[in-house]
Amino acid sequence: MILEIILVFVMLIAAAAAGIFKDLLNAVIAVGFVSFIAAILFYFLQAPDVAMAEASIGAALTVAIFIIAIKKTKRFEEDEEGS
């Protein structure tokens, strides 16, 4: 149980970090991390099929296409002026 609490906590922090990071590459890695922990949680929830899918699709391939897209565009989020 304690492991799950820690995992959820880390996952939420990673998700928030994905929103905060200015460097999009870091943000994408954080998303991959979220997916990876989600895969572990799926395993705890007795869903091995979904855990495999999330690990291979969510954590690996999504991150890969994000990185390709960032490479084709721009790596840094510009400073926000005004709101």
Partner 1 sequence: MEFIENYLYYIASFGLILIGLYIILIKKNLIKMIIGLSIMDTGVNILLISMGYLSGGTAPIFSRENLLPSRMVDPVPQALVLTAIVIGLAIIALALSLTIVLYRHYGTLNTRKIRDLKW
Partner 2 sequence: MRKAVSFILVVIIAIGIGLSLQEVPFGKTKSEVRKYCLEKGIEQTGATNIVTSVVVNYRGFDTLGEVTVLFLAAIGLSAILYREKEGERKNRRRSSLILYTGCKFLFPLILLFGAYIFIHGHLTPGGGFQGGAIVASGFLLVILGSRSWWGFNRSKMKITESLSGLIFVVVGLLGLLYGGHFLLNYLPKGIPNELFSAGIIPIIYIAIGFKVGSEITGIIDDMIRSG
Q: Which residues bind partner 2 (CB under 8 A)?
A: 47-49, 51-53, 56-57, 60-61, 64-65, 68-69, 72, 83
Distance between alpha carbon 40 and the CA centroid of its chain, in Å?
Answer: 13
User: How far is Cα of residue 4 from the mean position of the Cα atoms in its chain?
Assistant: 17
Binders in 6-45 for partner 1, by CB under 8 A: 8, 11-12, 15-16, 18-19, 24, 27-28, 31, 34-35, 38, 41-42, 45
Residues 65, 49: Cα–Cα separation, whole Å: 23
Q: How many CB atoms lie within 10 A of CB 34?
A: 21
Residue 67: how many CB atoms within 10 A of its CB? Answer: 15
Residue numbers at the binding site for partner 1 (CB under 8 A): 1, 4-5, 8, 11-12, 15-16, 18-19, 24, 27-28, 31, 34-35, 38, 41-42, 45-50, 53-54, 57-58, 61-62, 65-66, 68-70, 72-74, 77-78, 80
